[in-house]
């Protein structure tokens, strides 16, 4: 049997110095399901280990009961039959680094977990970020919330249960979700124009939705998603665009090998997959812009990247930050000269059209959470374009190949089955 990440975390050594995790779970009536799931791994109940500099977000029994049973992890919870799916689920709930409730603010902190590409069963892999999947931590009024894939928001119901100096546990009311592959995200979210444009362009990227399929799977990317209205506003350009031109435009919306959550943005330029720089601007009001487009819905956690929704299609032509008119509506910031709107786009075929799940509502918190820290928005400050690693703590080694460096760059239901 393949050892789970939790079993390795709790094996090899005495955990008396840090505290007995199994004993703590056993003492909490509302964590009995979690204790049982951990116990599914052979010898886990008997093999305890020390761990330091981690934060565990622990779903309550009610949280586990709400997980849809038609997903791999929901089925595994119900039948107790798939230790890989259960291991992936639990690994996604362990942050690298200690995050007490007092350290969480109303600007989200996106940090990596112990979920990596090693969790693959016969139905799917569960995540593919270098160094571990991301989830977010953010303050919502008096509550601390955890942000994960598929627009999932979990609320901490009991915070700061300590096991020694290096382990913090927060109980949560909703199990964290895995991030969806990008094309599945666009379909479920209703960004059908972006979905259809990618299908028409045939970029030969799978974005993680297939294993060994027609395209190359890419990981650790940042992608910008224009709304359907944004695509329609340049419809006349799209009607006459060649496939090569469409490919060029779409590549310009992708930053490869760089997972950028919005709170790590500054007034910087970053090279796109197309080769031309993207220009970022942050304002004192907490808004963030890429070229002439406003980021309207930041930090959507994917299977292997992060997506930011924007209100205008980006043009690979050179952009001058001085020309940005932030007070102008999106209709006056169209980046393609002489473009005129259309009611119907020239491409309509979408991927995942057979999927029956849609995001019918967006949680209010995700609509209102700040994109960037207002204190960091300066017209002259240049910041790193990539997530910043801070030497304030890291999880102890679980697998030799896993480097548990704490990333505090600001930035999942399962895949289609």
**pLDDT on residue 29:** 95
DSSP, res 80: -
For 266-290, how does the pLDDT look when each residue is reduced to its tens digit (9 = 90+)? 999 999 999 999 999 999 988 999 9
Asked: is 182-376 a CATH 3.30.70.920 domain? The reply is no
How many angstroms separate the Cα of 252 from the Cα of each of 146, 306, 314, 315, 413? 31, 15, 7, 8, 29
**pLDDT on residue 175:** 98
Q: How far apart are CA 196 and CA 207, in angstroms?
A: 14
For 323-334, how does the pLDDT look when each residue is reduced to its tens digit (9 = 90+)? 999 999 999 999
Structure-token pair, residue 360? 């019918």
DSSP, res 276: S
For 342-358, how does the pLDDT look when each residue is reduced to its tens digit (9 = 90+)? 999 999 999 898 888 88
Asked: is 5-177+389-407 a CATH 1.10.3720.10 domain? The reply is no
For 134-143, how does the pLDDT look when each residue is reduced to its tens digit (9 = 90+)? 999 999 999 9
Q: What is the mean pLDDT of the chain?
A: 82
In degrees rounded to 5, what are phi and psi of residue 279?
-110, 120
Q: How far apart are CA 113 and CA 129, in angstroms?
A: 10
**pLDDT on residue 103:** 95
pTM above 0.75, yes or no: yes
**Cα-based angle 122, 126, 129 (whole degrees, multiple of 5):** 135
In Å, how far from its chain's centre is CA 40? 28
Range(s) of the chain covered by CATH 2.30.180.10:
5-177+389-407, 182-376
């Amino acid at each position: 049997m393949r050892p789970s990440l939790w079993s390795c975390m709790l094996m090899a050594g005495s955990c008396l110095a840090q505290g007995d995790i199994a004993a703590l779970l056993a003492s909490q009536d509302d964590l009995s399901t979690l204790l049982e799931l951990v116990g599914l791994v052979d010898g886990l109940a008997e093999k305890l280990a020390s761990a330091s500099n981690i934060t565990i977000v622990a779903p309550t029994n009610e949280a586990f009961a709400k997980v849809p049973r038609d997903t791999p992890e929901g089925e595994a919870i119900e039948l107790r039959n798939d230790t890989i799916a259960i291991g992936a689920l639990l690994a996604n709930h362990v942050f690298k680094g200690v995050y007490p409730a007092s350290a969480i603010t109303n600007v989200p902190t996106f940090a990596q977990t112990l979920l990596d590409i090693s969790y693959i069963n016969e139905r799917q892999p569960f995540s593919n970020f270098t160094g571990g999947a991301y989830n977010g931590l953010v303050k919502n009024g008096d509550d601390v919330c955890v942000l994960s894939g598929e627009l999932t928001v979990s609320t901490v119901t009991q915070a700061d249960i300590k096991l020694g100096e290096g382990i913090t546990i927060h109980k949560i009311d909703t199990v964290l979700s895995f991030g969806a592959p990008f094309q599945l995200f666009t379909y479920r979210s209703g960004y059908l124009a972006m979905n259809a444009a990618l299908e028409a362009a045939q970029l030969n990227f799978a974005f993680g939705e297939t294993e060994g399929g027609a395209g190359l799977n890419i990981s650790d990317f940042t992608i910008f998603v224009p709304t359907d209205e944004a695509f329609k506003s340049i419809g006349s350009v799209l009607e006459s665009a060649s496939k090569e031109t469409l490919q060029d435009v779409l590549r310009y919306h992708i930053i490869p090998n760089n997972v950028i959550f919005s709170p790590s943005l500054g007034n910087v330029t970053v090279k796109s997959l197309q080769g031309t720089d993207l220009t970022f601007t942050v304002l004192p009001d907490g808004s963030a812009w890429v070229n002439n487009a406003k980021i309207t819905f930041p930090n959507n956690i994917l299977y292997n990247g992060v997506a930011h929704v924007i209100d205008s299609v980006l043009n690979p032509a050179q952009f001058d930050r001085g020309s940005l008119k932030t007070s102008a509506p999106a209709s006056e910031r169209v980046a393609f000269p002489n473009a005129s709107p259309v009611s119907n786009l020239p491409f309509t075929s979408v991927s995942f059209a057979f999927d029956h799940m849609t995001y019918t509502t967006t949680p209010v918190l995700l609509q209102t959470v700040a994109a960037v820290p207002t204190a960091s928005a300066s017209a002259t400050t240049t910041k790193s374009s990539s997530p910043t690693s801070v030497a304030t703590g890291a999880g102890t080694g679980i697998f030799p190949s896993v480097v548990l460096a704490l990333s505090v760059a600001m930035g999942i239901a399962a895949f289609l089955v």
